Every structure is written in C-alpha cells, then in structure tokens.
Homo-oligomer: A and B are copies of this chain.
C-alpha cells in the first residue's frame, strides 16, 4: 500500500496542480480501487470517476453495507460488492474530510479513520521484519569464499532488509574472528595503498587463524613517564624494556578495516581515488568505533585489545587527549548499550558520511543512496525492536553517535600526530620501522 498517499488530515500530503513538466510523471494512470484507468486524484487517491462518486455517496448516505461473500471480493470495474468496494476505498486512503458538505458526517469520518488505522496495523504486523528470526549468520558459516553483501539498493521488501542485516552481521563476525586471532596482516605491511585496495579480502580466510590460548596477556610493564615527558636516554631504556608481545593494533585494524570495506558493494565499485578520499576522511573514526565497541563488548571501561594491550595504563599521567581517545570513546557505548546489529549499521553509516568535496559527483550520489538505504534499515530494525516512539528516539541517539565518533576520530588523529612528533624528536635516526602507507592514509589530516 502506498504510504505517500496518506490517511488523516495530518497525513494529507497530496499536492494540488503541479508544474507542467512534473505533471506527466506524477499523474496517475490506474484507479487504486478498481484498476480502471484515470488521470486524476479524488479525495486524495488516484481513482476513476465511478469510484469517486461511489465513495462520496457512501459517506453522504451513511449506509453500511454487508458483504454477501467472504469480505475479500476482488474489486474491478463493474464489481457489485458495495461492502468490499467501500472497504477498498478506505484501505487505499480515501479521505472523507475532502468531501465538501454542510451535512454532519463527523461520526462517519471518525469511523473511517479508525478503520483505516486498524487496516494499517494489521498490515504492519504481517510485513515488518520479525527480529527474532535474525540468526547470527549461521547459514553462511559454510561459505568458504570471501563474503559479499548483495548490492540491492532497491528498497522494495523487508525481506531484503533482513538479508542485508544478516550479511552485515556475518561479515562483522568474520572481522571479529580475525581481529581476535594471530592475524596481523604482516604480509601486507609493505604493500602500496593501491595494491592493498586491489588484493583479495582476507575476511574469506578466517580458518587459517586462531585465537591464542594465552590471550589476554597480562599488562606487566608500565612506564613512570610518557613519551611526552622523557629525554632521549630514558626513551632508549623504555624501548629496551618494551616487549614485542602484543599485536601492532593500528596496522592490523587498518588492514582489516580496508578489507571490510571491500565487502560493501556500494564502496567497492567506486573509483579508487574516491575510495582513498573516503578512507582518509572516515578511517580514524572507523578505527575508533571498532576499538571502542569491542572494548565495551568485553566489558572494559577503556580501550582494550583482545591480546591484553591496554594503552591507557601503560604509563602514569595520561594526557587529556589520551583520556579522550582511550577512555571517553567507550562511554557513549555503555550509555546506549549498543547492540551488535546497531554497531554494524553504525559502521556503514560512518563510511557513508565520508562525503567530501573531493570525490566525484557520481560517487557522492552513490554514498548518499547508501546512506539512505542503511539508515532506513537501521530505522526499520529499531522500529520493530522498540516500537514507534522508542524506536525513533533510539534512532536519533545512534545517529548522534556518528558525529561524536567523528570528533573522537579527529582527536585520535591529533594524538597520533603528537605521538609521532614526540618519538621523532627522541629518536631522530628513526630506528623504528616506518608505518605502512595504509596507516598513513587512515591517519592523514
């Protein structure tokens, strides 16, 4: 049932005469009641002259009809079941308020509107996705190839939503498995950015990696002072003390995140330069979202990695920026108690927000369509789960989270910049290996 042709007064969005060029596009062809031909609206609904007159007479006469059959007669031109024809008029949204009369027909009108609401309610129940059906991708687990999300950007059926969300959950599941395994993407550290964009996604080969039994490792060592407070000598001492037993998380997450984006068809089909632009724009925020969510999932109050690495406690006197990046980022997730489903959609919406002036118009359009699509899925999901009102509120909360995460992303970049400057000053010969190009792309300003 078309939701744009609407019901009560508040919902009366039917416009009057349209501009010339719009007319052909917007003028109806088929009577919504009897399928006859028409080219105009009556009482808010595309309808033929006959059905118009029929509805009018029904309302004015106030008569109530009874179906002689089973209240589901097919209405065609010439149909004779008045009860079913009138019911159909209501169902498609004919507006009795549009009948101009001095006669008091208010009771009839209230009845009609109540009836309309009941019809809508029963339809909603039948159509909208039932959440309890969502399984955590169990049917996909046999799939050996790298996962892909179906590229359907048409919003025709709720089934599609369900499918899309399940696919997202499945990819996220794989992402999590790899992240919690020994996978570091070490073999790709030397790759150019272009090569990384072109290589096969690693999300397909989860089985090759496992989670070590001794994780999380204990955080046994801590420094008295941070790199911002020490001199060259102390830095050399710290370096020796540091044990390379943790994963290099910023590299791992950057590589995995890039592979994740490849499973998003709307993203993967963009020109490579636009992809780079987008990653540059949203990369840091994506990393923050991922780190924060999986810390929160493990019930940690600050950024915490599966191998036990906990940056905020590695030295005393954390700076404000460190507190923001490593502690504050987790808080909104607790406040909202974000679910897995919500997180998956949030991640995608962060990517869709990477619309910058630098990308092509075509790509921008694609991103905007994707944003529309996924935000609607999020919305539909929340409506089903929490009901109309709570659902809308929660939707607002989660959307607000996007901007918050962007802020933290920016702070993350600032922090990394300061960190790099400090280390470069302490160790000008740069005995450290340079960070992979891809991390630079994520952290560029």
Given A68-B97, A399-B400, A400-B403, 18 more pairs with CB closer than 8 A: A9-B68, A9-B162, A10-B384, A11-B158, A11-B384, A14-B80, A15-B77, A15-B78, A69-B97, A155-B389, A372-B393, A376-B388, A376-B389, A376-B392, A392-B395, A395-B395, A395-B399, A396-B399
List of B residues within 8 angstroms of A3 by Cβ:
387-388
Mark each residue of chain A from 70 to 103: 1 if its CB lies under 8 Å from any CB of chain B, else 0.
0001101111110000000000000001100000
> Does chain B have a CB within 8 A of A316?
no
Option from B10, B78, B98, B376 in Cβ contact (under 8 Å) with A16? B78
A77 CA to B162 CA, complexed, in Å: 36
> Which listed residue, B12, B81, B371, touches A9 by the CB 8 Å rule?
B81
Is residue A390 contacting chain B, with contact meaning CB distance below 8 A?
yes
Given A4-B387, A387-B3, A388-B3: A10 and B396 within 8 A (CB)? no
CA–CA, A312 and B208, complex, Å: 60
Q: Which residues of chain B come closer than 8 Å to A416, judged between CB atoms?
A: none
Q: How many of these chains are in the complex?
A: 2
* Chain B residues within an 8 Å CB radius of A435: none
- Is A404 an interface residue, CB under 8 A from the partner? yes
Output the least CB separation between A157 and chain B (Å): 9
A109 within 8 A of B: yes
A6 touches B (CB below 8 Å): yes
Bound-state CA distance A379–B397 (Å) is 13
Interface core residue of A6, A10, A68, A395 (most chain B CB under 10 Å): A10
Tell me if A10 and B395 are in contact (CB < 8 A): no
Do A9 and B392 form a contact, CB below 8 Å, given A3-B387, A400-B399, A400-B400?
no
